[in-house]
Amino acid sequence: MFRLKGVKAKGILSITDLTIPAKRITCIVGGSGSGKTTLLRLLNQLDSPDEGEIWLGQHLSSELDPTEWRREAVMVPQATITFKGTIRDNLQIGLSFAGKPEASDEQLEEALHLACLEKNMEQNAEDLSGGEKQRLALARAIVMNPMALLLDEPTSALDEDTADTVMQRLTAFIRENGKTLVMITHSRHIADTYADFVIEMKSGMPQGSGRDAH
């Protein structure tokens, strides 16, 4: 899905050669300041490397317009954004930004179910709690139907039981639909339970080329 070769970025990352497999669930783990979020931002073209090359499938990052790249690799940052309006408005707005047609109510409801946010779509999104807003951002990304989801600590605001339910539903959806999930997590339980592949970051470098989780 992604390949990084000779990549240096922001004086933080130094990656000789790293491949992130398609149609698999990859967790990125490591201590604070180890380069996890910088790596995820590179995969979304929010940041550009100072040196090196990044591929999305067969396409070099310089060959694709960043907007086109982000249609296929949608990122949900840890500090999520909630837009004014209803839950429905918030779910549709990502499609609008990407120039895609609106989703059906059935698709919106499925995304809310996957994110464990069983709410009336006409409710004001700004009335949601922090954890609910985090799940709304996840549902918005799911609605966009990208090839890859890039998630930065998607369960950080959730209690353990809710986090597990979200991960169970999300990983089942990823596998059933042949999608790719790349996710930063501070939770070893989540990485050990749900990941097919684990990248451990230390001082801006992946340890080895990643490891199988099982």
CATH number of the domain where residue 193 is located: 3.40.50.300
Q: pLDDT at position 209, please?
A: 46
Q: pLDDT at position 147, please?
A: 94
Q: pLDDT at position 68, please?
A: 82
Listing DSSP states for 23-83 in one string gives TSEEEEEE-TTSSHHHHHHHHTTSS--SEEEEEETTEEGGGS-HHHHHHHEEEE-SS----
**Host domain of residue 24:** 2-212
* DSSP SS3 for 6: strand
Q: Six-digit token pair at 10?
A: 């922001």
Burial class (CB in 10 A: 0-12, 13-18, 19+), 145: middle
Q: pLDDT at position 120, please?
A: 95
Low-confidence stretches of the chain (pLDDT < 50) are 208-209
The values of phi and psi at residue 100, to 5°, are -105, 155
In the DSSP assignment, the letter for residue 204 is T
How many structural domains is the chain composed of?
1
pTM of structure: 0.91
Q: pLDDT at position 1, please?
A: 87
The CA distance from 194 to 172, in Å, is: 10
C-beta of residue 79 within 8 angstroms of C-beta of residue 154: no
Q: pLDDT at position 213, please?
A: 54
160-176 and 105-114 helices, crossing angle to 10°: 130
